[in-house]
Amino acid sequence: MRRALRSAAGLLFLPAAAASAQRPALGAAFDPATRAAIQSIVDSARADGLPADALVNKALEGAGKHAAGPRIVGAVRMLYGELAASREALGAASRRDEVTAGAQALHAGAATPDLHALRLAAGRRPLGMPLMVLTDLMSRGVPPETAAGIMDSLVRAGARDADLVAFQRNVRLDVDRGAAPAAAATTRVRGALAALRSH
Amino acid sequence: MPDHEPMVADAVLGELRQPVPVSATFNARVMRAIQELPHRHGRVVPLPTRSSPRRIRIAFGAVAAGVLAMFALPSSPRAHARRVQFVLVAPRARNVKVVGDFNGWDTSHAAFHAKNRGGGVWSVTAPVPVGHHRYAFLVDDTVWVADPMAPRADEDFGTPNSALLVPDQE
């Protein structure tokens, strides 16, 4: 019977160990005060049902890039607020990757009404990719209002993720070649919308 | 395949599906022959005798573990992963690593160390969990570089990041 129990325990804890290995953990990369501050924020996020892994990853990124403790804590605290705002704008039923991508968009300059409008426009369509492209546009210099309007029109026109990837690639190439970001984005979106309407 | 072959195949299959005529006493003769076979108690089904209780306990334990695992382990989107290729053109680099949310921003993960493919092209293909991720290339253990082909993400710590969305379905 003992052997049977050992077999059972082995089978039970093998996948458990594999699962825990995939979950990010703070580890020993922080001084005690920084670690305690980060853990407090992470615990609050977990209690709120927010994707706390994103906060741990933010802290680990800061440690990996040798940022000072207070700077890491500040970045983690800011992300906590952005995750909460993102979920509120996108809806409580939003997927974790949507909430995380929404927080990125807010960080890059989008407003919560932009995210809410995108949710209304998208319906059940996953918003991970639209939010990622929105963040990219703003990061490349497209004004937030312009970028949000572009994404809203693309989503309303039924753009799939592949369409958005192609649009983002075209804008990036134009900007890399010297185009003004807003001009590149507004020009490319006209072509993308025309292509979508012709289908 | 020529066009007429499916017709030939249909004809052969149709012939094979026809009932085979047997005599009216066929079933009775078969059953009588079976009843006349000698009885072989304990040999028809070769169950293990001495070791069977232990094997049964182990098997029971394995099944119990499976059932427990189904209920005890949290279902997580991170359990699913897809292989993603990362490419950076860096002709002067001595080493290139991919670091991001998917490996805890840990530069020591060998699975994310790119190889020099020649001509200045560095690449690595590695499993990345489903979901939204941020990442960057670390060149020569000192310079952080965003993926020039990927969407941009935040840069809270003064160095650029890229974004990656691994879908849970195509």
A76-98 tens-digit pLDDT: 999 999 999 999 999 999 999 99
CA distance A61 to chain B (A): 5
pLDDT at B94: 97
Distances (CA, A) of A80 to A53, A56, A93: 11, 11, 18
Model confidence band, residue A141 (pLDDT cutoffs 50, 70, 90): very high
User: Which range, of A5-9, A64-68, A173-177, averages the lowest pLDDT?
Assistant: A5-9
B132 with A101: Cβ contact below 8 A? yes
B131 with A100: Cβ contact below 8 A? yes
Dihedral sign of CA atoms B31, B37, B42, B48 in order: negative
Does the structure show a pLDDT above 60 at A55? yes
The larger pLDDT score, comparing residue A184 to residue A2, is at: A184
Dihedral sign of CA atoms A148, A150, A155, A156 in order: positive
Residue B53: closest C-alpha in chain A: A1
ipTM over 0.95: no
User: What is the pLDDT averaged over residues B85-92?
Assistant: 97
Does the structure show a pLDDT above 60 at A197? yes
Does the structure show a pLDDT above 60 at B3? no
Predicted confidence (pLDDT) per residue in B108-153, tens digit: 999 999 999 999 999 999 999 999 999 999 999 999 999 999 999 9
Residue B106: closest C-alpha in chain A: A64
B62 with A7: Cβ contact below 8 A? yes
Does the structure show a pLDDT above 70 at B79? no
Predicted confidence (pLDDT) per residue in B24-73, tens digit: 566 666 666 666 665 554 444 444 445 566 666 666 555 555 444 444 44
User: What is the pLDDT averaged over residues A165-174?
Assistant: 97
Backbone dihedral angles phi then psi of residue B10, each to the nearest 5 degrees: -60, -40
Q: Which residues of A touch B111 (CB under 8 A)?
A: none
Query: Using H for helix, E for strand and C for coil, what is the string for A61-119?
Result: HHHHCCCCHHHHHHHHHHHHHHHHHHHHHHCCCCCHHHHHHHHHHHHHCCCHHHHHHHH
pLDDT at A11: 42
A133 with B60: Cβ contact below 8 A? no
Q: Could you tell me if A138 and A109 are in contact, meaning their C-beta atoms sit under 8 angstroms apart?
A: yes
Residue B78: closest C-alpha in chain A: A22
- Mean pLDDT score of chain A, rounded to an integer? 90
CA distance A104 to A83: 9
B73 with A100: Cβ contact below 8 A? no
The larger pLDDT score, comparing residue A124 to residue B165, is at: B165
